Amino acid sequence: MDSPDKPTPLEPQGFFDPSRAVYRFTLLIFVAALSFGSYFAYDIVSGIAPTLVEALNTNRSTVGAFFTFYHLAATVLVLLGGILIDKLGTRKASLLFSFLVLGGAVLVWTAQSIPMFFLGRFIFGAGAEPLIVAQSAILARWFKNKELALSFGLALTVSRMGSLFAFNTGELLVSHFGSFRYALFGAVIACVISLLANFVYIFMDRRGQRALKLRDESVEEKVVFKDIKEFKAPFWYVTLLCVTFYSAIFPFTDLSTDFFAQKWGLPLTAGAAGSFLNKVFYNFLHIFDTAPGISSIIIFASMILAPFAGRLVDKYGKRATVMIVGSLIMIPCHALMGLTKINPVFTMIALGAAFVLVPAAMWPAIPLVVRKERVGTAFGLMTAVQNLGLAVFPFLNGWLRDSTQSYTASMLMFASLGFVGLVFAMLLKRADAREGHVLEKP
């Protein structure tokens, strides 16, 4: 007779046994796909920004504001999303956020006015960022004390594939089918794929819960406001560096396709003939020859190099030093693109290196500079503040371009953000020295 605390096996056994690694990694495929659609839908606006400006008869600041409304919603929902996930559980919460993502993408696709575009992006942002938080809780539920780091890395890679495809297929969809609506419809399809993956995850998770007596993991990125007053200087320097660093990366890429097309005269597609799939394949082969392709170099670099950078930081430490180096790389990259006509491929590869180095050192630094029970509040607050920066600078980028009729002022703004980030990184290293060089140790 089975003991009462031993789970009763569910039939059939073999491949579909939830206790087996193959079941867990099959589930990982669908959990990783949860955010593929939202990444694609987020970056499709960047990929087709030049077309949107022309087709909507609008300016660059309006396209930048598409990202502003996304991040305004994300700021609010990041503060509340963790609480909602804990109350509803990961299955119900992830499904709710997936429907918000899809609903926002549909509204953007069908919008007939700029305010409706803004509303669609706001709804989309309200679902996309909390969905990533829910995804993290799901991975912790299934992979804690097992292959947690690997599962997070694979999920991030699949998500960023959404961005990579958005940049390198958006203008192809426009040119092949004849309207920017087809690119936005492509984003809807990507979000439908993620929603279907969510249904499969729910089925497999429910089955696994019955078999293995799983319980929901508490969400890490959840802000408890009374904890904030206990944070010391190193946390605030990391947070301020986070804001300045990401504000110099993502708001730049939001309009970088338009920037590369305008300043260097780069084509929006590689110009292949034949079927649509043949054009997609040809575009990826010539990723360094198109404006959207060069924009995606940062994403591609992070997909390939981020896991290695994380291992190096874990092994050797030097986190504050790595953040200084990453900030130093960023400053001349933006300045050179703004002031010269040097081939942007080289500066974008260098910027991609900075994008790999700084996050690899920055996010793991948080558990080292705050008490264990405050880590959730620290991550949540840092993410919320980061989204505030990401709400402001896309609009400023577009407004400076419209006002000056070039991107020089914008690029100097991003270089200045890199310089401010460098100051915060240096202040962090000094503060860390007072705390015993915690961040510099392996």
Start-to-end CA span in the chain (Å): 50
- The encoded tokens of residue 437 equal 């060089």
274 three-state secondary structure = coil
Q: Supply the pLDDT for residue 218.
A: 58
Closest CA to 239 of 341, 350, 386, 433: 386
What one-character DSSP code corresponds to residue 370? S
Amino acid 425: pLDDT: 94
> Cβ(217)–Cβ(144) under 8 Å?
yes
Q: At what angle do helices 319-339 and 233-254 cross, to 10 degrees?
A: 30
Provide the pLDDT for residue 139: 86
pTM comes to: 0.90
Taking each helix axis as running N to C, give the angle between helix 375-404 and helix 408-434, from 0 to 180 degrees, rounded to the nearest 10.
160
> Are the C-beta atoms of residues 186 and 169 closer than 8 Å to each other?
yes
Structure tokens at 244: 């300045």
CB 95 within 8 A of CB 73: no
Domains and CATH numbers, the chain: 15-222 (1.20.1250.20), 226-442 (1.20.1250.20)
Measured in degrees and rounded to the nearest 5, phi and psi for residue 64 equal -60, -35
Instruction: Please report the DSSP string for 376-438 in residue order.
Output: HHHHHHHHHHHHHHHHHHHHHHHHHHHHHSSSHHHHHHHHHHHHHHHHHHHHHHHHHHHTTST
Model pLDDT, residue 180: 97
The CA distance from 24 to 34, in Å, is 16
Spatial separation of the C-alpha atoms in residues 27 and 46, rounded to whole Å: 31
Measure the CA–CA gap between 402 and 391, rounded to whole angstroms: 18
Say whether 18 sits in a helix, a strand or coil: coil
- pLDDT for 96 equals 94
Return averaged pLDDT per consecutive 10 residues of the chain, 442 residues in all.
44 65 89 95 97 96 96 87 80 94 98 96 94 86 77 85 95 95 97 97 87 65 74 92 95 96 95 89 93 94 80 83 93 96 94 90 86 80 91 96 96 96 94 87 82
Strands (E) across 257-300 are located at none
Residue 2 confidence (pLDDT)? 43
DSSP state of 15: G
Confidence at residue 11, expressed as pLDDT on a 0 to 100 scale: 47
Q: Token pair of 84, please?
A: 């909602």
394 neighbors 254 (Cβ within 8 angstroms) = yes
